[in-house]
């Protein structure tokens, strides 16, 4: 924050370099900006962690140990439905942010509930897919390819599970405490988390399901 | 944070938009949703089609995925290139740098290893 004071050139104020005309220090950033930025850093480190799993999947894609390949396992229709669910939930999450900003409780609860239901549909479809794979002998122990697949997609699924628990917590907190400043900061972080999960899912369905099933 | 003007409240938290009325904000999300759905549909169509030259499909899928992530960043996360968003963009750029090092480096090195090393059964026969 301290070095930010030197960034004021070009706007006709601040002027820390030349003529000694120092305008008053702007002071620390608002807490909402600091909190949001810190959570943004966490999300980026989370994305770096996912990139390691993506690298492992890309490297191990061909190591099927004579087991089934991706093209035989993946059901594109199922993945398309999952993708649409997550995309729509990202949209309703944005609607919940707007409703919270204009302090409209009804629309906030409706949008958050829709987000949670879409997230649960996504999780149910993913769980059904995993159960079907394990049932046909293509579990994570079958080959290095399947280990990498279950690790990457399962890790995303765990994030969505945590996101749904967080979503229910936020609904309860708004119900009990209203749109206080600290609750609004938590809502900002939750919205960032949920949108970031959707970005990671874009990479998952493109790399794992679509690229993984091209011959 | 980014103090490009002397009002510190003009810098944005990631995810925050500027002052807009509700209609404009909803419209932003609707545009983002429409673009994302369009890109998703294109991805799934391209992956299954036989209409295009087959080796171009992986490249097309990667380009479509990156485009859709850009749409999400701009319309849902509201990361822009404006002066009030400098810190968010710089953090994102550093994160992407690490991601490309990890993924690109792993794929590059491991594909070279695969090319330079004979399969394991050949090694066993040489001994």
pLDDT digit string, tens, across residues B55-86: 889 999 999 999 999 999 999 998 877 777 88
Chains A and B form CB pairs within 8 A to the count of 166
Reference A210, options B60, B10, B126, B6; nearest CA is B60
In a domain, A19, yes or no: no
Question: How far is residue B27's CA from residue B32's CA, in Å, rounded to a whole number?
Answer: 9
pLDDT digit string, tens, across residues B17-42: 766 788 899 999 999 999 999 999 99
Tokens describing residue B57: 């499909």
Q: How far is A28 from chain B (nearest CA, A)?
A: 8
**How many residues in total does chain A contain?**
215
Which B residues 36-65 touch A at CB under 8 Å?
A: 36-37, 40, 43-44, 47-48, 57-58, 61-62, 64-65
Which A residues 107-166 touch B at CB under 8 Å?
A: none
Q: Do A51 and B12 lie within an 8 Å CB cutoff? A: no
Question: Which one has a higher pLDDT value, B50 or A5?
Answer: B50
In a domain, A11, yes or no: no
In a domain, A21, yes or no: no
Residue for token pair 């490297």: A59
Tokens describing residue A136: 């046909």
Instruction: Show the domain range for A181.
Output: 30-211
Question: How far is residue B15's CA from residue A33's CA, in Å, rounded to a whole number?
Answer: 10
Q: Which of B4, B30, B36 comes nearest A7 by C-beta?
A: B4
Rg value, chain B, Cα: 22
Q: Do B95 and A198 lie within an 8 Å CB cutoff? A: no
Is the entire prediction scored with pTM above 0.80? yes
Please check whether residue A23 touches B, CB under 8 A. Answer: yes
Q: Do A199 and B64 lie within an 8 Å CB cutoff? A: no
Q: Which residues of A touch B95 (CB under 8 A)?
A: 44-45, 47-48
Q: Do B4 and A56 lie within an 8 Å CB cutoff? A: no
In a domain, A96, yes or no: yes
Question: How far is residue B102's CA from residue A169's CA, in Å, rounded to a whole number?
Answer: 35
Question: Which of A83, A103, A195 is the mutation pick for testing B, counting most B CBs within 10 A?
Answer: A195
Please check whether residue B31 touches A, CB under 8 A. Answer: no
In a domain, A2, yes or no: no
What pLDDT is recorded for position B49? 83
Q: Mean per-residue pLDDT for A60-77?
A: 87
Q: Do B102 and A191 lie within an 8 Å CB cutoff? A: no
Q: Are B26 and B72 in contact (CB under 8 A)?
A: no
- Residue in B with minimal Cα distance to A202: B65
Complex-level ipTM: 0.82
Q: Do B61 and A84 lie within an 8 Å CB cutoff? A: no
Coil/strand/helix, residue B4? coil
Domain ranges of chain B: 12-80, 83-127
Average pLDDT, chain A: 88
What pLDDT is recorded for position A182? 93
Q: Predicted confidence band at A19 (pLDDT cuts at 50, 70, 90)?
A: low
The tally of domains found in chain A comes to: 1
Name, in order, each residue with C-beta under 8 angstroms of A19's C-beta and a sequence gap of 6 or more. none
- Residue in B with minimal Cα distance to A210: B47
pLDDT digit string, tens, across residues A106-141: 999 999 999 999 999 999 999 999 999 999 988 899
Domain of A48, CATH number, reads 1.20.120.80
What pLDDT is recorded for position A22? 60
Task: Give the DSSP H/E element, type plus range, for residue A43.
Answer: helix A31-60
Q: What is the dihedral of CA B99, B76, A88, B57, to 10 degrees?
A: -40
Q: Which residues of A touch B64 (CB under 8 A)?
A: 206
Reference A123, options A151, A85, A69; nearest CA is A85
Q: Which residues of B touch A59 (CB under 8 A)?
A: 106-107, 110
What pLDDT is recorded for position A189? 95
In a domain, A15, yes or no: no
Q: Which of A29, A91, A199 comes nearest B8 by C-beta?
A: A29
Question: Which one has a higher pLDDT value, B5 or B26?
Answer: B26
Rg value, chain A, Cα: 22
Question: Largest Cα–Cα distance of chain B, in whole Å?
Answer: 75
Q: Do A8 and B6 lie within an 8 Å CB cutoff? A: yes
Residue for token pair 């990498």: A148
In a domain, A157, yes or no: yes
Question: How far is residue B5's CA from residue A138's CA, in Å, rounded to a whole number?
Answer: 58
């Amino acid at each position: 924050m301290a070095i930010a004071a030197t960034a004021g050139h070009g706007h006709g104020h601040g002027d820390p370099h030349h003529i000694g005309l120092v305008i008053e220090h702007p002071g620390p950033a608002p807490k909402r900006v600091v909190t949001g930025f810190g959570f943004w850093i966490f999300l980026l480190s989370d994305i770096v962690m996912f990139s390691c799993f993506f690298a492992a999947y890309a490297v191990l894609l061909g190591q099927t140990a004579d087991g089934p390949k991706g093209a035989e396992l993946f059901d594109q229709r199922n993945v398309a439905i999952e993708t649409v669910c997550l995309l729509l939930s990202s949209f309703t999450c944005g609607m919940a942010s707007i409703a919270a900003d204009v302090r409209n409780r009804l629309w906030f609860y409706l949008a958050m509930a829709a987000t949670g239901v879409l997230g649960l549909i996504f999780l149910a479809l993913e769980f059904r897919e995993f159960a079907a794979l394990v049932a046909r002998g293509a579990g994570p122990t079958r080959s290095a390819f399947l280990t990498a697949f279950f690790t990457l997609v399962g890790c995303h699924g765990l994030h969505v599970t945590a996101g749904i628990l967080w979503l229910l917590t936020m609904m309860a907190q708004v119900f009990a405490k209203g749109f206080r400043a600290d609750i609004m900061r938590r809502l900002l972080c939750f919205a960032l988390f949920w949108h970031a999960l959707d970005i990671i899912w874009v990479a998952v369905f493109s790399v794992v399901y679509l690229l993984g099933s091209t011959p | 944070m980014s103090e490009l003007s002397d009002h510190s409240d003009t810098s944005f938290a990631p995810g925050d938009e500027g002052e807009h009325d509700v209609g404009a904000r909803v419209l932003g999300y609707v545009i983002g949703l429409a673009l994302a759905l369009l890109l998703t549909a294109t991805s799934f169509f391209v992956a299954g089609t036989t209409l295009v030259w087959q080796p171009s499909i992986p490249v097309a899928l990667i380009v479509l995925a990156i485009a859709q992530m850009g749409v999400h960043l701009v319309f849902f996360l509201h990361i822009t290139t404006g002066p009030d968003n400098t810190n968010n963009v710089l953090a994102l750029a550093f994160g992407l740098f690490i991601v490309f090092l990890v993924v690109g480096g792993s794929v590059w090195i491991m594909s070279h290893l695969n090319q330079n090393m004979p399969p394991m059964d050949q090694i066993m026969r040489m001994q």
